[in-house]
Amino acid sequence: MKIRIASAGHAAFAVTMIALGVVVLLKGYTPFWTGVPKAMPARQALAIVTGIVSVACGTGLLFERAAAVASRVLLVYLVLWFLAFRLPLVVREPGSSGNWWACGEIAVMMAGAWVLFTWFASDADRRRLRLVTGERGVRIARVLYGLGIIPFGIAHFTFLQRSLAVVPHGLPWPLAWAYATGGAFIAAGLAVVTGVLGRPAAALSPAMGFARSPTARGSAARETSEARGC
């Protein structure tokens, strides 16, 4: 099978899904694949299925003949995970920024899968699924991405001590950096949603994300999961 990489973002997304799947298979649920109640029947079996789906879809995204199917399966799986295990957290406790963080995190990944689905959709898919493919599909994914990163910014204020903990030592005005980063995420999300300076905001927001440590990235989601017995 021929490898097809449409962009650096495409490759990074595929590798990320593979890595997330491997971690689930080796260690169980991770800060990303969270929200599954401990009392849920077949919880461990679901973890195995999730890891396999994540690895298989991430790998499939890199191959020309498999990319369309892989992107579709991954998008559907992420949407189902959001509806089953993330959205209920916000419904039960809408005032928790950790719950919104968890929803935002998976919304960002859904947006990435959606863009790839529109890229690799066949002509038949574009005819049958006109409402969610093509330019309209990309716009939907863009809005979803923008809405997803706004909770990241809010969490910098509500989880301020964790934000301060990852500011490099020796950097002056750590509180200002924490506030500025949070505000930048919120501004970037609004820019992407509204389309005002949306392209530069979308381009810069991943760089801000990489600037966060893994501990900061997962702290809010982890705390929420533990509070819910997940």
183-208: pLDDT as tens digits: 888 998 999 888 776 565 555 555 45
Q: Is 178 in contact with 132 (CB distance < 8 Å)?
A: no
CA distance 111 to 149: 11
Cross-strand pairs, 63 = 3
pLDDT at site 211: 46
Q: Is 133 in contact with 116 (CB distance < 8 Å)?
A: no
Q: What are all long-range contacts of 124-133, with beta carbons under 8 Å and residues at least 24 apart?
A: 125/68, 125/72
Query: Does the predicted TM-score (pTM) go above 0.75?
Result: yes
140: its two tokens? 């939907």
pLDDT at site 206: 56
Q: Which residue has the tokens 């505000």?
A: 183
pLDDT at site 210: 43
Domain definitions of the chain by residue range: 8-227
pLDDT in tens, 134-143: 888 989 999 9
- Note the Cα 33 to chain centre separation in Å: 10
Is residue 3 scored above 90 in pLDDT? no
CA distance 41 to 135: 41
Taking each helix axis as running N to C, give the angle between helix 67-81 and helix 43-60, from 0 to 180 degrees, rounded to the nearest 10.
Answer: 150
Kindly report the number of other CB atoms within 10 A of residue 41's CB atom.
7
pLDDT in tens, 146-182: 999 999 888 888 887 777 777 777 778 888 888 888 8
CA distance 195 to 188: 10
pLDDT grade, residue 84 (50/70/90)? very high
Radius of gyration over every alpha carbon of the chain, rounded to an integer in angstroms: 18
